[in-house]
């Protein structure tokens, strides 16, 4: 073994694994494009006040429905607000919803799926039937019903999406767990006296992380679309918040004459969803063990 | 007269992550007639890659170069993919380690053998009725020492044991009566008593039809019992070529070391001699 | 040290139930190395899994150093039982967690059992298996098959057990590596006074490692004999003789 393989610390060992991953990731141009779009979105959200050219909320009736040009890069809406600025600020809402959904639904799905797969028997039967019930109801319908009960708003919209997003994660985590439940390395740690909780959290969770990450990345595109959809029908973010879906909804009335009012936030949604799909594809190529066999 | 297979200077290499080539097989030459040649080596020695390169079925990342690879006078390197396919179906056969991967899991064994028989017949311009092909499949299974061929023909691949599956694979390989058969670790997953029966069957078939056989295995004593001639590979190179019956007189330290470190039933219960690998074995022989 | 009387093991239930071990009995003295040899499906590995508590349903009596296996598999006696008996698995690729450093694999059993001086003990174990402490921070895929099996052995030794159950410990390895692992196992047994129960399909490996062995076929122990009897080809049962003939 070469000197490069000497790892004097666990941190360096992990760093080395990360570097090797980064090297392979860099060879995928679409994945890099997706990563760039994702990072750009975060950059926009953080530095929105610096990048903005106007105030996102202050109406300017003199400049109503101005076409894209030198002063208003992407035009203005029916209240004369700069669409570029509003898209910038809207990225914060998009990230907030995506993050809220991901950080609630993925852990719930992971935990239920792994517990279900590891214990099997009646635990599995009960948890999976609950999962089935949620899977059987159309996503948007369930989200709609939830928002209708709790009232519209960003947080409620995100929680509604969470309600529909966790069952696929549970299924995925359960499948991964079943594949390793009887593996020798699980038997070995059980023989060391580890409790089921320790086996699940320290040994089975890490096995699920890669496929969960791939799935979550793909789902981000879907989450953005559903959030925009809820905003569009008036059940998500409420005016005057610059949520992209709500912006499209308000632009709908002028779609033939002042197309940019709806088209610009639409393009933003399109680019960001596409970016997460690219990223998901690239991650799957690198992380999915089944895809590796095919290559 | 042409040798059945004539390989000169075969190399197989892979591009590494940093762009340099790693050589998995280097400068392998082999001239063989209708005989049993064993290729022996430990994992990673390049023996299976050699077999794949001869057949032209290496993975897309592998780079194969050779002075020449001639099969019965035909230059395999210059052959078109269609010609290669025809040769592989008709004149060169291959049996792999795990029959369960080589057989289609959703078709009955009988249907797969019949398919192979009828394809073979079609290639030589005959049409063979299903019923006739089925009868022929029965005979072939009987020839590989399967006692109740009618039952086995009706089974799916997952329903047969490893030894039975491997005999079915041998049967399929012999359907086309190839001139050269390549067997890659076909007995390593089998129990010893089953191993002996599979090898008996293989030996019988090869001798009766006067074929050439390349027998790839990690098991040096087994190969030396079974083959006429043995090539010992280490890190992609042939380090020693020796008549199988002279294995005890092997001269290369690697071959000798491999033989010594195998425990024996009636051997002494002392520490086994450890194989000391030397850098000089990686150099091309003078 | 190991006492097994009339062990029965069943897999599956109802119409798909199979009786994989049928009335197996064996006794192994402290410090002895006992072999279980047989072909695939003979039930030899199942006996090891039954001792470890990895089979759901078994009958008969088993005990390790006086601790009844039924108490050892669950309940308050379990930690004590696990510090008596540990297992090494066949495939070093499948028995190490692919995403955890091998040093963690060795130190974790000690953490679970709240042993002290874990770091020093881990280093000592690396030395005992012929690796350096710098190997601690490697992932399994960065090690060779032989190195991985050494790690698996060190992990089994981490709890300082008296008994090691070895399930085909070298059958996934090349013969030159097998020799190194067998030598290592024998040295560890002598240094630490361990008792081995080794399962293998390879009669030569068993004959090399063990002083006594049982031959299994189709779930039953066909014959139990001393190694010397085996080496001189004086087996009583025809099945054993066939196996010896096929293994030469």
pLDDT tens digits along C167-189 = 999 998 999 999 999 999 999 99
Structure tokens at C24: 């197996």
Asked whether residue A233 is assigned to any structural domain, the reply reads: yes
Q: What value does the mean pLDDT of chain B take? A: 88
Q: Rounded to whole angstroms, how far apart are CA atoms B217 and B184? A: 7
Q: Do B271 and C187 touch (CB under 8 A)?
A: yes
Q: Rounded to whole angstroms, how far apart are CA atoms C146 and C129? A: 11
Given a cut of 90, is residue C154 above it in pLDDT? yes
Given a cut of 90, is residue B208 above it in pLDDT? no
Q: Rounded to whole angstroms, how far apart are CA atoms C81 and B47? A: 46
Summarised one tens digit per residue, pLDDT across range A138-179 is: 888 888 888 889 888 899 999 999 998 999 999 999 999 999
Cβ contacts (< 8 Å) between B261 and chain C: which residues? 175-176, 178-179
Nearest CA in chain C to B199: C246
Contact with chain B for residue C191, Cβ under 8 A: no
Report the candidate in A213, A201, A248 with the shortest Cα–Cα distance to residue A90: A248
pLDDT value at residue C32: 96
Q: Do C39 and B193 touch (CB under 8 A)?
A: yes
Asked whether residue A32 is assigned to any structural domain, the reply reads: no
Contact with chain C for residue A121, Cβ under 8 A: no
Structure tokens at C71: 């108490």
Range B124-153 average pLDDT: 86
Range B125-148 average pLDDT: 85
> First vs last Cα of chain A: how many Å apart?
27
Asked whether residue A90 is assigned to any structural domain, the reply reads: yes
Report the candidate in B159, B217, B223 with the shortest Cα–Cα distance to residue B184: B217
Report the candidate in A284, A278, A247, A277 with the shortest Cα–Cα distance to residue A263: A247
Summarised one tens digit per residue, pLDDT across range A246-262 is: 999 989 888 898 999 99
Given a cut of 90, is residue B163 above it in pLDDT? no
Nearest CA in chain C to A13: C137
Residue A237: what are its φ and ψ, rounded to 5°?
-60, 140
Domain boundaries along the sequence of chain C: 2-247
Give the range of the structural domain holding residue A108, as residue numbers without chain letter: 75-294
- The domain total for chain A is 1
Q: Using pLDDT thresholds of 50, 70 and 90, give the confidence band for residue C246.
A: confident
**Mapped to the 3 state alphabet, what secondary structure does C165-234 carry?**
EEECCCCCCCHHHHHHHHHHHHHHHHHHCCEEEEEECCHHHHHHHCCEEEEEECCEEEEEEEHHHHHCCC
Return the number of other C-beta atoms located less than 10 Å from residue B60's C-beta: 6
Contact with chain C for residue A15, Cβ under 8 A: no
The enclosing domain of A163 has a CATH number of: 1.10.3720.10
Contact with chain B for residue C186, Cβ under 8 A: yes
Summarised one tens digit per residue, pLDDT across range C63-73 is: 999 999 999 99
Q: Using pLDDT thresholds of 50, 70 and 90, give the confidence band for residue B40.
A: very high
**Which architecture does CATH list for C2-247?**
3-Layer(aba) Sandwich (3.40)
**Residues written for chain B:** 286
Nearest CA in chain C to A206: C99
Asked whether residue A65 is assigned to any structural domain, the reply reads: no
Range A198-223 average pLDDT: 94
Range B188-206 average pLDDT: 85
Residue C5: what are its φ and ψ, rounded to 5°?
-125, 125
Cβ contacts (< 8 Å) between B274 and chain C: which residues? 176, 179-180, 183
ipTM confidence score: 0.93
Contact with chain A for residue C42, Cβ under 8 A: no
Cβ contacts (< 8 Å) between A191 and chain C: which residues? 52-54, 82, 86-87
Q: Give the B-side interface with C, CB within 8 Å.
A: 42-43, 162, 191-196, 218, 220, 257-258, 261-267, 269, 271-275
């Amino acid at each position: 073994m070469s000197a490069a393989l000497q790892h004097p610390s666990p941190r360096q060992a992990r760093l080395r694994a990360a570097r090797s991953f980064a090297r392979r990731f860099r060879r995928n141009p679409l994945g890099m494009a997706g990563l760039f779009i994702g990072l750009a979105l975060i950059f926009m959200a953080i530095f929105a006040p610096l990048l903005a050219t106007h105030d996102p909320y202050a109406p300017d009736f003199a400049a109503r429905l101005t076409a894209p040009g030198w002063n208003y890069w992407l035009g203005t809406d029916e209240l004369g607000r700069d669409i570029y600025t509003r898209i910038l600020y809207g990225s914060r809402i998009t990230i907030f919803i995506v993050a809220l959904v991901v950080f609630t639904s993925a852990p719930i799905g992971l935990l239920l799926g792994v517990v279900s797969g590891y214990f099997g028997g009646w635990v599995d039967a009960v948890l999976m039937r609950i999962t089935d019930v949620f899977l059987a109801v159309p996503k948007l319908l369930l989200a709609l019903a939830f928002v209708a009960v709790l009232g519209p708003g960003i947080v409620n919209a995100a929680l509604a999406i969470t309600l529909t997003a966790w069952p696929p994660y549970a299924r995925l985590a359960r499948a991964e767990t079943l594949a390793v439940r009887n593996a020798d390395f699980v038997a070995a740690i059980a023989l060391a006296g580890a409790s089921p909780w320790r086996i699940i959290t320290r040994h089975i969770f890490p096995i699920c992380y890669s496929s969960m990450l791939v799935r979550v990345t793909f789902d981000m595109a879907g989450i953005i679309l559903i959030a925009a959809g809820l905003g569009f029908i008036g059940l998500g973010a409420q005016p005057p918040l610059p949520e992209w879906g709500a912006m499209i909804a308000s632009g709908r009335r002028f779609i033939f004459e002042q197309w940019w009012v709806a088209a610009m936030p639409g393009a933003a949604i399109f680019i960001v969803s596409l970016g997460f799909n690219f990223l998901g594809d690239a991650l799957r190529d690198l992380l999915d063990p089944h895809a590796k066999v095919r290559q | 007269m042409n040798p059945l297979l004539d390989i000169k200077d075969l190399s197989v290499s892979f591009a590494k992550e940093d762009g340099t080539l790693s050589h998995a097989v280097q400068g392998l030459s082999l001239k063989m007639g209708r005989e049993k040649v064993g290729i022996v080596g430990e994992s990673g020695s390049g023996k299976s890659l050699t077999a794949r390169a001869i057949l032209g079925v290496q993975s897309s990342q592998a780079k194969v170069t050779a002075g020449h690879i001639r099969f019965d006078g035909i230059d395999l390197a210059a052959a078109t993919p269609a010609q290669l396919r025809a040769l592989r179906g008709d004149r060169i056969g291959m049996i792999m380690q795990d029959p369960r991967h080589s057989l289609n899991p959703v078709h009955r064994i009988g249907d797969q053998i019949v398919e192979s028989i009828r394809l073979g017949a079609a290639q030589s311009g005959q049409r063979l009725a299903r019923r006739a092909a089925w009868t022929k499949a029965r005979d072939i299974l009987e020839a590989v020492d399967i006692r109740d061929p009618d039952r086995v023909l009706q089974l799916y691949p997952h329903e047969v044991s490893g030894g039975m599956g491997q005999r079915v694979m041998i049967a399929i390989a012999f359907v086309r009566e190839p001139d050269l058969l390549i067997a890659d670790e076909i007995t390593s997953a089998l129990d010893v008593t089953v191993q002996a029966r599979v090898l008996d069957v293989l030996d019988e078939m090869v001798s009766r039809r006067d074929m050439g056989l390349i027998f790839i295995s990690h098991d040096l004593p087994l190969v030396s019992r079974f083959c006429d001639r043995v090539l010992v590979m280490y890190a992609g190179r042939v380090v020693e070529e020796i008549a199988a019956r002279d294995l005890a007189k092997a001269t290369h330290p690697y071959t000798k070391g491999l033989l010594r470190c195998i425990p024996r039933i009636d051997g002494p219960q002392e520490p086994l001699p450890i194989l000391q690998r030397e850098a000089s074995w990686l150099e091309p022989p003078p | 040290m190991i006492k097994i009387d009339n062990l029965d093991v069943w897999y599956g239930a109802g119409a798909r139930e199979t009786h994989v071990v049928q009335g197996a009995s064996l006794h192994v003295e402290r410090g002895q190395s006992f072999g279980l040899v047989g072909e695939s499906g003979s039930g030899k590995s199942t006996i090891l899994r039954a001792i470890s508590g990895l089979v759901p349903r078994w009958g008969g009596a088993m005990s390790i150093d006086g601790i009844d296996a039924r108490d050892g598999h669950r309940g308050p006696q379990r930690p004590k039982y696990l510090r008596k008996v540990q297992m090494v698995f066949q495939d070093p690729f499948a028995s190490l967690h692919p995403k955890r450093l091998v040093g963690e694999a060795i130190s974790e059993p000690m953490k679970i059992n709240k042993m002290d001086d874990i770091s020093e003990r881990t280093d000592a174990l690396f030395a005992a298996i012929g690796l350096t402490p710098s190997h601690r921070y490697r992932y399994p895929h960065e090690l060779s098959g032989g190195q991985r099996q050494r790690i698996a052995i060190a992990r089994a030794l981490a709890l300082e057990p008296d008994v090691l159950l070895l399930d085909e410990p070298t059958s996934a390895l090349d013969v030159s590596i097998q020799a190194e692992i067998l030598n290592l196992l024998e040295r560890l047994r002598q240094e630490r006074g361990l008792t081995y129960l080794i399962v293998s399909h390879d009669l030569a490996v068993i004959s090399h490692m063990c002083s006594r062995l049982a031959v299994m076929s189709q779930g039953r122990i066909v014959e139990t004999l001393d190694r010397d009897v085996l080496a001189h080809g004086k087996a009583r049962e025809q099945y054993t003789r066939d196996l010896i003939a096929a293994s030469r």
